[in-house]
Amino acid sequence: MSLLQFDNPSVQGEIKVPGDKSISHRSIMFGAISEGVTRVTGFLKGDDCLSTIDCFRKMGVTITEKDDEILIEGKGFKGLKEPEEILDTGNSGTTTRLLLGILAGQPFHSVITGDESIAKRPMNRVTVPLREMGAFIDGRDNGNLTPLAVRGGELKSFHYTLPVASAQLKSALILAGLQSDEETVIVEPEKTRDHTEKMIRHFGGHITREGSTIRITGNQPFKAKDVHVPGDISSAAFFLTAAAITADSSLKLKNVGLNETRTGILDVLKEMNTDFEVTSTSQDEEPQGDILIRSSSLTSCEIGGELIPRLIDEIPIIALLATQAQGKTVIKDAEELKVKETNRIDAVVEELKKLGADITATDDGMIINGPVKLKGGHADSRGDHRIGMMLAVASLVTTGPVQIDGAECISVSYPDFFKDLSKVTSR
């Protein structure tokens, strides 16, 4: 539990947010299935990514953690070993779903589980198509809920249209397809984050995309490559909002990842009349840059359609941003929020209402009227790191203290969040 109160704060200075969680997960996975030693810098040492490391160690991969780098002694797909222990993915949906794609093609038996939150999250969107490819997967609710038992093997050619725009589902099927003897074709309804595709190319593999259609050839060899993980724009979003909604603020966020499939938050900031500028610092496979943001007079906007997959993880903090904007903000087409660490539609609406927000849930999103002077109160992270961080940022503009139950869950993606918050608000 954390009790937060700020007196007329402003947000000043500069920080470097931790490494991108999505890329950190994939760096371990691709390092493990490649031949040779992969060196990863900028890795996010949050609980979720450490769960990924633990799972691959249990499959015989040697992974060494140093202060500023991770070394992975790759085994290739065919070098992974049957784990003697259960693979525990903790709170990480990314680890769970992508690992299912890898295990689907492995000629051994494994059991995968997670924490109480993972046990409630639906897995059939992944397990059903993986079974169609030839994997044997069983578990609670006919393979919809963990724990899941997996026996992989020979995977067949597969053509699949994703029922939802989900990077986790897409990536799981890609990782399975890489182990097939034939071509795998995936069609996605909206373009989702493409870190998996970029990682394949970085490690020497081949994958093509034409419009919404992705093609993957199986049995490709991968060679170890160094990976630099940029700052996570999803983590940066909380500090971007903190600076935008507090008076006399000016904050620079250094070396933030600017992958175009992830920068929807910047489009929303622009639409809401936020005062910010981006300076590119690298145009590598995963581009990055510095973002300077200042206090802003915010205006409302409508958020939906193809923009949603590019900012799905940022919607909780965007909702807070909207409480301080002039007019009615509508967030729609975001049903995917219901199957995150919590039902984030309900969680965001109910927790912000406790602080005095004028916010209403809809079937696929929420409606927020602003600006509203928020009050202090007793709120609950619900074990969801992004809800916890959103409530912490909200305390910057409340009239009284905010008590947050379960704030320790923030370590999942941002272990030093409160340290950085104190750094940019202390004078």
Residue 121 is assigned to a ligand binding site: yes
Residue 344 is assigned to a ligand binding site: yes
Concerning whether 313 is annotated as a catalytic residue, the answer is yes
Residue 140 is assigned to a ligand binding site: no
Nearest to 143 by CA among 152, 130, 156, 154: 130
> Mapping DSSP to helix (H, G, I), strand (E, B) and coil, where does residue 283 land?
coil
Residue 423 is assigned to a ligand binding site: no
Residue 180 is assigned to a ligand binding site: no
Give the separation between CA 21 and CA 92, rounded to whole angstroms.
10
Asked if residues 179 and 104 have their Cβ atoms less than 8 Å apart, the reply is: yes
Residue 373 is assigned to a ligand binding site: no
Q: Which burial class, exposed, middle or buried, applies to 287 when counting CB atoms under 10 A from its CB (0-12, 13-18, 19+)?
A: middle
Residue 338 burial (CB count, 10 A): 15
Can you give the C-alpha Rg of the chain in angstroms? 21
Give the separation between CA 292 and CA 202, rounded to whole angstroms.
30
Give the separation between CA 396 and CA 10, rounded to whole angstroms.
8
Residue 168 is assigned to a ligand binding site: yes
Q: What is the DSSP letter of 131?
A: H
Residue 92 is assigned to a ligand binding site: no
Give the separation between CA 68 and CA 44, rounded to whole angstroms.
10
Residue 171 is assigned to a ligand binding site: no
Residue 386 is assigned to a ligand binding site: yes
DSSP string, 327-346: EEEEE-S-GGGGGSSS-HHH
- In one-letter notation, the amino acid at residue 273 is N
Catalytic residue among 48, 232, 313, 380: 313
Residue 294 is assigned to a ligand binding site: no
Where is the binding site, in residues?
21-22, 26, 93, 121, 166, 168, 313, 340, 344, 386
Give the residue numbers annotated as catalytic, written as ranges: 313
Where is the binding site for 3-phosphoshikimate, in residues?
21-22, 26, 166, 168, 313, 340
